[in-house]
Amino acid sequence: MSVPHHVLVLGGHGQIAQLLTPLLLRRSWTVTSIIRAQDQVPTIEKLGAGLPGKLNVLVRSIDDVDSQDRAVTILDEVKPDYVAWSAGAGGKGGAERTFKVDRDAAIHFIRAAASKPSIKRFLLVSYTGSRRAGASWWPAGEWDEYYKSVNNGVLANYYKAKIAADEVLYETSKKSNSLIGICLRPGTLTNEPAGKVELGKTAHVKGSVSRASVAETANALLGADGVKNGSI
């Protein structure tokens, strides 16, 4: 039987987080779900019905986490040993909020987690285009086209915010003696049921994956032995 863990889920009301939470609870783990509004509490509390793990729901605004110290305050309150980041501005509030949440708050939590030797894993949900260059095995021109239309086009601010946070996770966890950083980079998200996924050396930068599959993958990575720092 695996050792029970306490996972802090940031962005707990998001769709992936709501799919991930019961998977973690089925392991008999403790989950503390951070949500931004009191009226979201009943929705999250239902996720733990009949499951062996313990579910805590904490109402806090990630928008207010404007320093590492504020992130540390939440970590000290919750005392997790794993952190799963599935928060994001979701396109609401314009570029300012995208950078405030997807970049700045994420970075504050990453650095705060690294300052706590008791925190062993930090899983950050990103997206497939969050990288500086395309993979050498991708079809010629695919990355250039994607970068132009997506990273330098419709998701320009999101790309800048996400890659900044992703790179801080990689560099911080690489230097840490205690924290393993896992950057999960799914393709375009759908609401299909969970199924098989292409993990690691994907054939294309383009592609889709269900939110349920992302949650299943995150659950597997948090539960697996021998996981190392990296982006997948």
- pLDDT tens-digit readout, 194-216: 999 998 889 999 999 999 999 99
pTM for the full predicted model: 0.96
- pLDDT of res. 1: 47
Tokens 């990103």 correspond to 126
Which tokens sit at 126?
């990103």
- For residues 58 and 79, give the distance between their C-alpha atoms in angstroms, rounded to a whole number: 13
Segments in 5-151 forming alpha helices (H): 15-25, 41-45, 68-78, 94-98, 106-114, 142-146
- pLDDT of res. 89: 85
- Write phi, then psi, for 85 (nearest 5 degrees): -95, 115
- Note whether 34 and 84 are within 8 A (CB): no
**Which region, left, alpha or beta, applies to residue 55 given φ > 0 means left and ψ of -120 to 50 means alpha?**
beta
Q: Which domains does the chain have, with CATH numbers?
A: 6-223 (3.40.50.720)
State which residues of the chain have pLDDT below 50: 1
